[in-house]
Amino acid sequence: MPSEPHLDRARAESFGSYAEAYDRHRPSFPDLLVDDLVALAPRRVLDAGCGTGLVARALVARKLSVLGVELDPRMAEIARRYGVEVEVARFEEWNDADRRFDLVTFGDAWHWIDPSKGVAKVAAILEPDGMLVRFFKGYVLAPDVFAKIEPIYHSIAPRLSAYGRWPEGLAWVDPIASSPDFARLPAQKYTSERVFTASQWTGYVSTASDHRRLAPEVLAALLDAVGEALGPEVVVQARTMALFAKRASRK
C-alpha cells in the first residue's frame, strides 16, 4: 500500500465493480471491537466509507442509530439490503446538513480519505467529546504457510505483495496526531485465531484492490495456485488495530 493511497482514485473507487464479491467474501470485524464501540453509548453514529455495511450493520444490530456514507452506489445498495441508511457521496465532499454525531467510524477506509480534508470534516461533525475510531484488519499466515505462497506471487504476479503478513514499519504520519481538534487515546488490538477454507482465503484476497488490478486470467491463475498450495483449510491469526481519538471541546 503506497503512503498516500487516496491519491490513486481509480483504485480507491474500484470496489463497486465487484461489490457482490466484496459482500460475499469480506469477513466481519471482531465482536470485541463492536462491543467496545457500543460501550461508548453513542446516540448517533456515522460510518464513513461504509462499503457494504460491515461495520454499520453490526452496530444497527445492536440497536444503534447509524448513518453510512459511501461513494459507490453499488456498495451502498448492498448496505441498504441489511437495513443500513446510506447516503452516496465521497466523505470529504458529503453534505452533513448540520447533523452532528457522537461516534464516527472508518472500517478499513481511512487510507482512502484525503487526510487533511478528512480530519477537518470529522472535526466539523463530531460533538465535543465525541469519538473518532479508525480500524484496520488483516490476517497473518504461519511462516511455513506464507513460505508456500510467496513464491507463487513472485512467479505469477511479481509486482504484487503476497497476502498473509501484518505490515510492519510503515512510514505513516497520522494527521490526527498534529490536530488540535483531537486527543488521541490508546490504540486497541484485537487478536484471535480463525480457520479459513482455501476457497474462503482466495475469495477474501480476491477482493483486495491491488489483486483486482490484475488481468482476470492472471488473477484466476494466482488464486488457483494459492488455493492448491494452502490445502483444504488454513489457520490464520486475525488482527485488528483500532485507533481512538476524542474530539476536543470547541472554543
Looking at residue 62, what is its pLDDT? 97
Phi, psi dihedral angles at 4 (to 5 degrees)? -130, 65
How confident is the model over 212-217, as a mean pLDDT? 96
Report the C-alpha gap between 150 and 46 in whole angstroms: 38
Alpha-carbon dihedral angle through residues 81, 191, 139, 112, given to the nearest 10 degrees? 60
CA-to-CA distance for 221 and 114, rounded, in angstroms? 34
CATH classification of 5-247 is 3.40.50.150, yes or no? Answer: yes
Stated pTM of the model: 0.93
Residue 70: closest CA among 2, 24, 25, 23? 23
d(CA 28, CA 104): 18
Query: CA dist 183 to 48, 75, 223, Å?
Result: 20, 32, 43
Predicted confidence (pLDDT) per residue in 118-157, tens digit = 999 999 999 999 999 999 999 999 999 999 999 999 999 9
Domain residue ranges of the chain, discontinuous segments joined by +: 5-247
